[in-house]
Amino acid sequence: MNEHSSILKARPAFLNGKPKKLLIDGKWVEAQSGQTFGSFNPSTGEALDPVALGAKADVDLAVAAARRAFEGPWSRFKPADRQRVILKLADLIEANFDELFLLDSIDMGAPIIMKPFIQRLVVDTFRFCAGMAVGIQGETLPNSVPGNILSYTLREPVGVVAGIVPWNGPVFNATWKIAPVLATGCTLVLKPAEQASLSPLRLGELCLEAGIPEGVINIITGYGEDAGAALSAHLDVDKVAFTGSCETGQRIVQASAGNLKRLTLELGGKSPDIVFADADLDAAVPGAAMAVYGNSGQVCSAGSRLFVERSIYDEFTEKVAAFAKSLQVGNSLDPQTMIGPLVSQGQLERVSGYLEAGAQEGARAMAGGARLTDGDLANGYFVPPTLFADVNDDMKIAREEIFGPVISAIPFDDIEEVVKRANNTVFGLGSGVWTRDVKKAHKLAGLIRAGSVWVNCYQAMDPAVPFGGYKMSGYGLEAGKHHLDEYLNTKAVWINID
């Protein structure tokens, strides 16, 4: 076996051929039904280890364990104690990150070249939340009530949290749920996506190794319509933190009404990326392209509506098309791969449907446009980086979230026009602006209705900076100092000291 073949056949020790179990109350257990479901490598179609098929009965056990932990030993952990255990977990994750990301690469197709970027975000998020854990505090407040009455606030954990995460970044999305739960003193039942559950399960092993008490972190694998729905509606869950589609988010809102759960919803997007004629085109071409093509377009904030000032539209789209054609598509474990597979056959069919719709509506594919099935790609779920030109705002590919490596390039003439068109969407998650004019950049940053505006860059992220959406892209914030607020209640205390 040559070195290249060896790289493509790499397997972490966690993939040992044995069925993966649920984590409930600090123990690894089979699902109550005894059933499992399959996991598959999207680069090759190869079957991986089966995973326990959790359902409502398992959710009930996990929620009960989380409640006991919240009211028991975990409640006696001081802020410094929580900080120590989070920092130990961060160290373990850093030491084992090669394995964690290898699981993501094999299980959902993340190109191995993304590992340094994701590692930084994951490890830094835990360390950032560890620092925040010892800074949670109320405040003494003045009041105008007659007499000598003291008023102050306490910040308290909301309780049992259901964390429901998508498949497009398993270890990263799990981190955004686990870290703030640990920092605030909540407990968690985590439901990974059925398409990519392996790295969250390995993360669960590291949580136990770090000394996190039994029941604080529980992991239920299974299907969204069963385990996810049971968690969303469970009357002993105090909060749901969900990342995923708008449609599922709407169902969670409805399911949460039974006990008026707290919600954090980070949902879909159809983000505009605006390129002005005065931009540095050498930076804007790869920047705008990878704003969509990174992770094969399976990113909620992907800048998939590319608005280009008309005077440079032809030149710019030709350069983006050439860049797209230069990107190597292939097995996610290959260090040369820039574009890996889509996560599943179902996602491949979904994206292929949009490619067909674009062609039928009159858009012109300058790059890509159809599934790749040649040679080593035959058994995987590969779509090349695709650029559609001659797109108008009413086309399906310009209105709906595709979640694939597909750019819709649209010309514009002036600022007022492009702002109106950029905001003409039900979504409001991310956006981009490419210009050398600082005044123009600030103006656009204030006018675009989106939770993030990236200027002369795209998808820059850091644990200290909040991330969230407007409109149908959800509400609540992840990352930044406000991240922990989503997991805390504020209690007002009044004491008559006369």
Beta pairing class for 262-266 and 239-243: parallel
Between vectors from CA 170 to CA 167 and to CA 172, what angle results, nearest 5°?
130
Cα→Cα distances 492→143, 152, 239, 483, 489, Å: 12, 6, 20, 21, 10
**pLDDT reading at 3 higher than 80:** no
Q: Does domain 272-462 have CATH number 3.40.309.10?
A: yes
Res 2: pLDDT: 54
Taking the CA atoms of residue 232, residue 233, residue 236 and residue 242 in that order, the dihedral angle to the nearest 10 degrees is 10
Parts of the chain belonging to CATH 3.40.309.10: 272-462
SS3 435: coil
Parts of the chain belonging to CATH 3.40.605.10: 3-267+474-492
Which architecture characterizes domain 3-267+474-492 according to CATH? 3-Layer(aba) Sandwich (3.40)
Range 403-419 average pLDDT: 97
HSE, CB side, 13 Å, CA atoms: give it for residue 361. Answer: 20
Structure confidence by residue, pLDDT tens digits, 280-308? 999 999 999 999 999 999 999 999 999 99
Res 73: pLDDT: 87
Find the catalytic residue in 186, 246, 300, 486: 300
Res 113: pLDDT: 95
The stretches of 96-145 forming alpha helices (DSSP H) are 97-108, 115-133
pLDDT-derived band at 375 (thresholds 50, 70, 90) equals confident
246 catalytically annotated: no
266 catalytically annotated: yes
Cα 164 from chain centroid? 10
Determine what percent of the chain is predicted with pLDDT higher than 70. Answer: 98
Range 416-436 average pLDDT: 97
Structure confidence by residue, pLDDT tens digits, 176-226? 999 999 999 999 999 999 999 999 999 999 999 999 999 999 999 999 999
Structure confidence by residue, pLDDT tens digits, 52-111? 999 999 999 999 999 999 999 898 899 999 999 999 999 999 999 999 999 999 999 999
**pLDDT reading at 21 higher than 90:** yes
Find the catalytic residue in 129, 186, 246, 266: 266
**pLDDT reading at 376 higher than 90:** no
Structure confidence by residue, pLDDT tens digits, 111-166? 999 999 999 999 999 999 999 999 999 999 999 999 999 999 999 999 999 999 99
Among 10-14, 260-264, 380-384, name the one with the lowest average pLDDT.
Answer: 10-14
* Residue burial 97-135, b: 16+ Cβ < 10 Å; e: rest: bebbbbbbbbbbbbbbbbbeebbebbbbbbbbbbebbee
Q: For 496, phi and psi rounded to 5 degrees?
A: -80, 110
